[in-house]
Amino acid sequence: MSVVHPYRRPADDVVRATPWTLAGELTELSDDLPDWDYDTVLPLRRTLVVDGARARKEAGLEDDAGLAVSVRWTASGSLLRGRAWQEQVPPTDGVELAVEFDLPGRDLGGTLTLDFVLVLTDPGSTTSRIAPRRPGSVLWADRRDIRLRGDATQFPIVVTDFAEVGYPSDAPWMLDVNGGLEDAALGSLLLLVNEKRKSVVDVVTGRAAGDPARSAAVLSMLRSETLRGLVERAVVDEAFDVSAEYPTGSTGAVLQAVLRQHFDDDLESLRREHTQEPAYFAARIQAAAGLLKEET
């Protein structure tokens, strides 16, 4: 299903990009990296050519409009995300840019999604009513999913009948966080999905491709609830220390990465907030997870 944007966008060929590669390798990056692990740094490389003048003209913008190309990454295994690279695009055609950045393995896991976008940073002096005006408006996009399949990378998901295992029979899912802080996260974190909730099962198993809006909503709620479960484990476990040296790939290391990515507060402040202002704490989890947030 095509997406209709409320503003003009340039033709797709205003950005021409080479395939993703790893530093020092000539072949295209595979969609599946079975030998990856948490100690592996991914040195990602790509070259692109951008027609900055044509992109502005076809979008109804003037030369003083600000455009930038950037790479956003999301890791399903760690629930972390961020911006890896960004460069401003001048109002000139044929601008060649070298995209180079490293992603540390400790922040990754599961499926790594790379979103390459050309976005508006400043609408400039355009008078066109159909030109993009909101900073962050996407004029061009390219997405790549890479499966990281090391021994400790996949966030385990099990589909089961909740009624048979004694869980609330109408609940769509439940995050089980058990084991010690130094235990491997692979064996301590388990996402249980109720097989009676077919629409949810279809989304987590990839069988709901025909309804992207519903899939996005379900995954957004699932990420929010999973983040809540991890953060609550961190704040209620008195043994957890955000500055401790936990083994790579352990539950403690995952909790540290989650807190550092999403919260500026110290751990004790989060613990007080969880106890004294639970409603506000829950709302902050939703905000940190970007619950049902529309991408621009």
Same domain, 180 and 93: no
pTM equals 0.57
Listed residues 128, 148, 168: the one ending a domain:
148
Q: What pLDDT is recorded for position 232?
A: 94
Q: What is the amino acid identity at position 47?
A: T
Domain boundary among 127, 148, 169: 148
- Please, which pLDDT band fits residue 63 given cuts at 50, 70 and 90? very high
pLDDT at 293: 77
Count Cα neighbours of 34 within 13 Å in the Cβ-side half-sphere: 0
pLDDT at 48: 92
pLDDT exceeds cutoff 70 at 130: yes
Whole-number mean pLDDT of the chain? 85
Mean pLDDT of 123-138: 88
Q: So what's the pLDDT on residue 79?
A: 60
The tens digit of pLDDT for each residue in 232-273 reads 999 999 999 998 998 877 889 888 888 887 888 889 999 999
Q: Residue 1 — very low, low, confident or very high, per pLDDT cuts 50/70/90?
A: very low
Tokens 């050519």, located at residue = 49
Assess if residue 132 is contained within a domain: yes
Asked whether residue 163 falls in the same domain as residue 142, the answer is no
Looking at the fold, whether 143 and 162 belong to one and the same domain comes out as no
Yes or no: say if 109 and 148 are a contact pair by the CB < 8 Å rule.
yes
Let me know if residue 2 belongs to a domain: no
Domain extent at residue 143: 12-148
Q: What is the pLDDT of residue 149?
A: 61
Same domain assignment for residues 165 and 131: no
> How much of the chain exceeds pLDDT 70, in percent?
90
- Same domain, yes or no, for 282 and 228? yes
- Does the pLDDT at position 56 exceed 90? yes
Q: What are 153-207's pLDDT values in tens digits?
A: 356 778 899 998 899 999 999 988 888 999 877 778 888 899 999 888 888 776 7
Query: Which residue shows structure tokens 């936990």?
Result: 246
Q: Are residues 141 and 175 in the same domain?
A: no
* Spatial separation of the C-alpha atoms in residues 137 and 133, rounded to whole Å: 8
For the cut 80, the answer to whether the pLDDT of residue 5 exceeds it is: no
Q: What mean pLDDT is predicted for residues 106-111?
A: 73
210 and 167 in a single domain? The answer is: yes
On whether residue 7 sits in a domain, the answer given is: no
Same domain? For 224 and 277 the reply is yes
Instruction: Judge whether 295 lies within some domain.
Output: no
Q: Based on the domain organization, do 40 and 86 belong to the same domain?
A: yes
Same domain? 110 vs 170: no
Domain-located, residue 3: no
pLDDT, residue 212, reads 75
Sign of CA dihedral 21, 23, 26, 30: negative
**CATH (domain of 65):** 2.60.40
296 within a domain of the structure (yes/no): no
In a domain, 1, yes or no: no
Q: Mean of the pLDDT values across residues 133-140?
A: 90
pLDDT score of 165: 86
38 and 141 both lie in a single domain: yes
Structural domains in the chain (count): 2
Lowest mean pLDDT among 101-105, 108-112, 177-181, 261-265: 108-112
Residue finishing a domain among 121, 148, 175 = 148
Contact criterion met (CB below 8 Å) for 110 and 189: no
Alpha-carbon span 119 to 113, nearest angstrom: 18
Note whether residue 169 is domain-resident: yes
Tens of pLDDT, residues 196-242:
998 888 887 767 666 777 877 888 888 888 889 999 999 999 999 99
For residue 151, pLDDT over 50 is answered with: no
Both tokens of 79, joined, read 């629930």
Same domain (yes/no): 22, 98: yes
